[in-house]
Chain A
Amino acid sequence: MSAVIEVWDLSVHFRTTLGVVRAVEGLSFAIGEGETMAIVGESGSGKSTVAHALLRLVPDPPGKIVAGHVRFEDQNLLDLSDAAIRHVRGRRIAMIFQDAMAALNPVFTVERQIGEVLRLHLGLAPDRIAAEVVELLRLVGVPAPEARARQYPHNLSGGMRQRVMIAMALACRPKLLIADEPTTALDVTVQAQVLDLIQSLKARFGMAVLLITHDLGVVAETAHRVIVMYAGRKVEEGAVTDIFADPRHPYTRGLLEAAKREETEGAFLREIPGTVPSPFEMPKGCSFAPRCPDAFDRCRMEMPELRDVAPGRPVACFAAQGASR
Chain B
Amino acid sequence: MNILGAFWARFRNNRAAVGGAVVLALVVLLALVGPWLYPVDPFDMVGRPFMPPFARFPLGTDVAGRDILAGIIHGARISLLIGVMASLAATAIGVTFGALAGYYGGWIDDALMRVTEFFLTIPSFVLAVVLVAIFSPTVANITIAIAIVSWPSVARLARGEFIAHRDREYVQGCRAIGMPDWEIILLQIMPNALPPVIVVASLTVATAILTESGLSFLGLGDPNLVSWGYMIGVARTVLRVAPWMAAIPGLMILVTVLAINLVGEGLNDALNPRLKQR
Contact = CB atoms under 8 A, between A and B. Distances in A.
Nearest to A87: B178
Contact of A104 (B170, B176, B179): B170
B178 A57 contact: no
Residue of B167, B170, B192 contacting most chain A CB atoms (<10 Å): B170
A91 B178 contact: yes
B39 interface: no
B131 to A, nearest CB: 37
Given A102-B168, A103-B170, A89 B192 contact: no
B106 A97 contact: no
Contact of A97 (B167, B169, B188): B169
A87 B176 CA distance: 10
Contact of B191 (A59, A85, A107): A107
Main SS class of interface, B: helix
A105 B178 contact: no
A95 interface: yes
B3 to A, nearest CB: 9
B48 interface: no
A105 B188 contact: yes
Interface string A120-161: 110000000000000000000000000000000000000000
B175 A89 contact: yes
A32 B106 CA distance: 38
B167 A59 contact: yes
Contacts of A88: 178
A86 B170 contact: no
A115 to B, nearest CB: 11
A126 to B, nearest CB: 15
Given A61-B106, A106-B192, A107-B192, A55 B170 contact: no
Interface string B173-198: 11111111000000010011000000
B188 A121 contact: no
B235 to A, nearest CB: 49
B172 interface: yes
A168 interface: yes
A235 interface: no
A99 B172 CA distance: 12
Nearest to B170: A105
Contacts of B172: 57, 97, 103
Contacts of A106: 170, 192
Contacts of A57: 172, 175-176
A105 B177 contact: no
Contacts of B168: 102
A98 B176 CA distance: 14
Contacts of B176: 55, 57, 89-90, 94-95, 97
Contacts of A308: none
Contact of A90 (B106, B169, B177): B177
Nearest to A168: B177
B35 interface: no
A117 interface: yes
Contacts of B177: 89-90, 94, 116-117, 120-121, 168
A-B pairs, 7 with minimum CB distance: A90-B177, A89-B178, A102-B169, A86-B178, A103-B169, A95-B176, A90-B178
